[in-house]
């Protein structure tokens, strides 16, 4: 009987039906195409055993003049510099109080209010999913659940002791880790970080060394007070885990009656941002305690929008910007123990912008450029379409004069600048509806800007990537490229991808370059996820599309490091394309991959086909498994819309009877149907594979 070569078109096509896509691939996961043939993607390995706090959405690698390798890591809670696998917190300080502005009051001193057993009851069961630690606010009562075994109270509450049914009136005392901090107009938000110094012991258990350290604010009472939990004396970095800060509670007693003394100073870090996009305004537009009870909420306010960082090097130093917020500078000479400072605080700073959507440094002419920033004449008031640039080679000189090259431009279309990218020849500036080219002209105008294209869209500030002189980006329901002019990229999986995106979280979509394979990847949150858990990829050298699932929130291509580096929601960084396994666990687990073809038929497809034998053609490239194998599956169906049938009506036996090992010559099968599809699965550790052109022994049955 004759053998038929299974020669498939490279790439996926999901916008056509499986039946009409005969001779093509229809579905896959963790598979790419090289030279037109599918192969398993590379695995990943943790860069170190340490973790960062928050969700990372920005990575920036560089090498200092002395050869030190740095990686900037921006999360919704912190900004770190990673050196040698360790994280140094350089998050800027937004406010340092005067001595005595901050005072403490231990919750053990008194209980506010009077909740009786006849009050309205709230029942929390295990099915409610209430965590061991959390806060409930009922009118003016703050109920804090602080489940810590081995203490006299497992439910420690300010305002109500939930371990009994009796009422508690003002003056009742309980041991509690909660401390209320008073600081008029503190400006802090829930999850913000503050470091105290100068405090003295409150009287007993709340000692000076416990108070004088960094804390995360877990609840904001009002503009003048907030709550922290006393913890053991340890640096935040030393107790940062994959699930957050893992600290040991310290409990104040009734003897802790002091306020910390008259020398307490609070150093507040830049307000934290959200890690989930919130749509709309009003109470609930943001996480708990982002505003007063029942109040409206502005999404433009500090901490009320998705935290996105931009960053670039000025020599070996670092410029960083919180989108729609401040611009900061880190001097490499001060070391990784020093924090970034406001650009406007530098000696000689003149008319520096104080708020921007993005900042970058022009590599060709050494100007610092701020996009969507405040103007010289109206500092602090953001103009979402204004572009300003410093004088050449200057960090601090931003005032436009006839003797320098500082100045500004304003984009003429759109309502806000979304992002900007640098190519070899020019800067590309995206608004919500247009693309503009910004070019260096020299004195006296310095820069000029021209409209390139209107009626374009861009999915998010992170969804564009520059590769040499080309820009690739994801828009709303389509993909684009720019290489001198804008083109829409034909995409045979477009409808499938865009119908699978959680559009309420589209601001998280991030583009990634994987130039070793000539690929651009976009990570996006799928319909059932609030975080990036899926990807769509484009091979720009072969014009091939494919997709899959992978949890990554930021990515930087190889260059400084041998492998690409990506961030995951488990608070870790990973080397990508590293081996073939999932290194998020120890021991490593398998990266499961598969690819499946569209259905195929013989002739016009009205006759039955018998499948009796498969001759595999694949290589287990670089596999570390001593006995690598994959599973070949051939399945049939009788009608385009019908279910696939199983060989011998036994799917378990069929799968088990079709392993392909390193020296497998042929597979014997017994299937019958009007059309058939081919599938390859891999789920073993240490296995890499690349598929060639397998052959199938077919016989056509004339019966219909």
Asked whether the predicted pLDDT for residue 562 surpasses 70, the reply is: yes
Asked whether the predicted pLDDT for residue 310 surpasses 60, the reply is: yes
pLDDT at 140: 43
pLDDT at 604: 61
If asked whether residues 19 and 64 sit together in one domain, one would say no
pLDDT at 17: 87
For the stretch 3-30, pLDDT in tens is 888 889 999 999 988 888 889 999 999 9
If asked whether residues 373 and 438 sit together in one domain, one would say yes
DSSP 495-539: HHHHTTB-GGGGGG-EEEEEGGGTEEEEEEEBTT-SSEEEEEEEE
Is residue 571 in some structural domain?
yes
The two structure tokens encoding residue 159: 């305002």
For the stretch 211-267, pLDDT in tens is 999 999 988 889 999 999 899 999 999 999 999 999 988 888 878 889 999 999 999
The two structure tokens encoding residue 656: 């088990």
Using a cut of 0.75, tell me whether the model's pTM lies above it. yes
If asked whether residues 60 and 209 sit together in one domain, one would say no
Query: Domain span at residue 167?
Result: 95-269
What's the whole-number mean pLDDT along residues 290-303? 40
Single out the residue of 57, 175, 27 nearest to residue 510, CA to CA. 57
What's the whole-number mean pLDDT along residues 504-518? 96
Is residue 55 in some structural domain?
yes
Is residue 174 in some structural domain?
yes
pLDDT at 627: 93
- Higher model confidence: residue 703 or residue 557? 557
Asked whether the predicted pLDDT for residue 650 surpasses 70, the reply is: no
Please, is 381 exposed, middle or buried when counting C-beta atoms within 10 Å of its C-beta (0-12, 13-18, 19+)? exposed
If asked whether residues 89 and 124 sit together in one domain, one would say no
Residue 340 near residue 320, CB atoms below 8 Å: yes
Is residue 164 in some structural domain?
yes
pLDDT at 660: 81
453-489 residues labelled b (16+ CB within 10 A) or e (exposed) = eeebbbbbbbbbbbbeeebbbbbeeebbbbeeebeeb
Asked whether the predicted pLDDT for residue 671 surpasses 90, the reply is: no
What's the whole-number mean pLDDT along residues 204-215? 96
If asked whether residues 229 and 146 sit together in one domain, one would say yes
* Listed ranges 133-137, 522-526, 661-665; the one with the highest mean pLDDT: 522-526
- Higher model confidence: residue 468 or residue 451? 451
pLDDT at 318: 98
Is residue 524 in some structural domain?
no
The two structure tokens encoding residue 641: 């819309």
Is residue 515 in some structural domain?
no
pLDDT at 702: 54
Number of structural domains in the chain: 3
If asked whether residues 37 and 80 sit together in one domain, one would say no
For the stretch 412-450, pLDDT in tens is 999 999 999 999 889 999 999 999 999 999 888 899 999
Q: CA-CA distances (angstroms) from residue 444 to 37, 376, 406?
A: 54, 18, 10
Asked whether the predicted pLDDT for residue 576 surpasses 80, the reply is: yes
Q: In the structure, what pLDDT confidence band is assigned to residue 599 with cuts at 50, 70 and 90?
A: confident
What's the whole-number mean pLDDT along residues 303-323? 91
If asked whether residues 382 and 486 sit together in one domain, one would say yes
Distance CA 396, CA 376 (A): 13
- Higher model confidence: residue 615 or residue 131? 615
What's the whole-number mean pLDDT along residues 475-488? 95
DSSP-derived pairing of the beta strands 24-29 and 9-12: parallel
CATH number at residue 628: 2.60.120
Asked whether the predicted pLDDT for residue 283 surpasses 50, the reply is: no
Distance CA 434, CA 418 (A): 10
Range in 176-180, 275-279, 452-456 with the lowest mean pLDDT = 275-279
If asked whether residues 574 and 462 sit together in one domain, one would say yes
CATH number at residue 334: 2.130.10
pLDDT at 186: 97
Q: In the structure, what pLDDT confidence band is assigned to residue 36 with cuts at 50, 70 and 90?
A: very high
pLDDT at 381: 96
Q: In what order do the strands lie in the sheet with 695-701?
A: 3-5, 695-701, 608-615, 667-673
∠ CA(223), CA(224), CA(230), 5° rounding?
110
pLDDT at 108: 45
Range in 363-372, 551-560, 596-605, 676-685 with the lowest mean pLDDT = 596-605
For the stretch 106-120, pLDDT in tens is 864 333 334 444 444
Distance CA 70, CA 53 (A): 18
If asked whether residues 548 and 623 sit together in one domain, one would say no
If asked whether residues 352 and 482 sit together in one domain, one would say yes
Is residue 292 in some structural domain?
no
A 10 A CB-CB count for 139 gives: 7
Which of 533, 558, 586 delimits the end of a domain?
Answer: 586
Residue 170 near residue 111, CB atoms below 8 Å: yes
Asked whether the predicted pLDDT for residue 102 surpasses 90, the reply is: yes
pLDDT at 645: 59
Please, is 337 exposed, middle or buried when counting C-beta atoms within 10 Å of its C-beta (0-12, 13-18, 19+)? exposed
pLDDT at 159: 35
Work out the mean pLDDT of the chain and round it to a whole number. Answer: 85
Is residue 298 in some structural domain?
no
If asked whether residues 213 and 118 sit together in one domain, one would say yes
Asked whether the predicted pLDDT for residue 500 surpasses 90, the reply is: yes
If asked whether residues 353 and 223 sit together in one domain, one would say no
């Amino acid at each position: 009987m004759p053998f038929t070569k299974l020669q498939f078109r490279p790439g996926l096509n999901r916008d056509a039906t499986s039946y009409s896509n005969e001779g093509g691939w229809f579905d896959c996961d963790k598979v790419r195409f090289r030279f037109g043939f599918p192969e398993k993607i590379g695995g990943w390995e943790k860069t170190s055993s340490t973790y960062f706090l928050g969700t990372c959405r920005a990575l920036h690698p560089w090498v200092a003049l002395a050869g030190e390798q740095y990686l900037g890591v921006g999360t919704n809670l912190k900004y770190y510099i990673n050196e040698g696998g360790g994280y140094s917190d350089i998050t800027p300080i937004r406010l340092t109080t005067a001595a005595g502005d901050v005072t403490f009051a231990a919750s053990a001193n008194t209980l506010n209010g009077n909740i009786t057993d006849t009050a309205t009851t709230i029942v929390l069961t295990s099915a409610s999913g209430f965590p061991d630690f959390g806060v409930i606010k009922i009118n003016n009562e703050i109920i804090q659940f602080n489940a810590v075994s081995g203490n006299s109270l497992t439910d420690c509450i300010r305002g109500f002791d939930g371990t009994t049914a009796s009422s508690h009136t003002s003056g009742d005392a309980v041991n509690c880790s909660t401390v209320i901090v008073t600081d008029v107009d503190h400006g802090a938000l829930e999850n913000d970080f503050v470091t105290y110094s100068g405090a003295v012991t409150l009287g007993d258990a709340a000692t000076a060394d416990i108070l004088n350290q960094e804390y995360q604010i877990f609840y904001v009472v009002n503009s003048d007070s907030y709550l922290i939990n006393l913890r053991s004396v340890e640096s935040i970095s030393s107790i940062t885990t994959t699930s957050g800060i893992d600290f040991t509670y310290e409990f104040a007693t009734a003897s802790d009656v002091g306020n910390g003394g008259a020398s307490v100073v609070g150093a507040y870090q830049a307000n934290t941002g959200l890690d989930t996009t919130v749509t709309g305004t009003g109470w609930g537009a943001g996480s708990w305690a982002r505003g007063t009870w029942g109040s409206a909420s502005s999404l433009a306010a500090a901490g009320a929008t998705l935290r996105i960082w931009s960053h670039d090097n000025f020599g070996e130093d670092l410029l960083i910007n919180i989108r729609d917020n401040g611009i900061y500078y880190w001097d490499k000479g001060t070391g990784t123990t020093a924090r970034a400072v406001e650009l406007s605080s530098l000696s000689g700073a003149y008319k520096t912008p104080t708020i921007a959507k993005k900042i970058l440094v022009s590599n060709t002419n050494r100007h610092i450029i701020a996009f969507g920033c405040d103007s010289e004449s109206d500092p602090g008031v953001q103009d979402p379409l204004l572009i300003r640039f410093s004088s050449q080679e200057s960090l601090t000189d931003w005032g436009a004069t006839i003797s320098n090259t500082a100045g500004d431009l304003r984009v003429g279309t759109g309502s806000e600048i979304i992002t900007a990218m640098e190519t070899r020849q020019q800067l590309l500036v995206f608004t919500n509806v247009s693309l503009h080219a910004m070019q260096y002209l020299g004195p006296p105008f310095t820069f000029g800007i021209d409209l390139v294209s209107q009626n374009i869209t861009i999915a998010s500030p992170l969804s564009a990537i520059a590769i040499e002189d080309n820009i690739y980006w994801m828009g709303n329901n389509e993909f684009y490229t720019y290489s001198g002019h804008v083109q829409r990229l034909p995409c045979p999986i477009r409808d499938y991808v865009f119908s699978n995106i959680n559009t309420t979280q589209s601001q998280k979509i991030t583009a990634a370059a994987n130039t070793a394979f000539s690929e651009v990847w976009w990570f996006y949150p799928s319909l059932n996820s609030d975080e990036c858990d899926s990807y769509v990829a484009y091979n720009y050298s072969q014009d091939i599309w494919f997709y899959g699932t992978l949890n990554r929130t930021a990515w930087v291509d190889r260059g400084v490091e041998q492998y690409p580096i990506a961030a995951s929601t488990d608070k870790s960084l990973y080397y990508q394309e590293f081996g073939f396994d999932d290194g998020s666990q120890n021991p490593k687990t398998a990266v499961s991959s598969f690819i499946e073809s569209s259905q195929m038929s013989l002739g016009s497809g009205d006759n039955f086909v018998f499948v009796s034998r498969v001759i595999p053609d694949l290589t287990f490239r670089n596999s570390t498994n001593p006995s690598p194998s994959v599973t070949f599956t051939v399945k049939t169906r009788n009608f385009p819309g019908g279910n696939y049938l199983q060989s011998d009506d036994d799917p378990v036996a069929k799968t088990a009877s079709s392993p392909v090992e390193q020296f497998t010559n042929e597979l014997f099968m017994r299937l019958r149907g009007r059309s058939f599809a081919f599938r390859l699965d891999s789920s073993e550790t240490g296995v890499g594979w690349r598929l060639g052109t397998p052959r199938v022994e077919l016989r056509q049955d004339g019966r219909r």
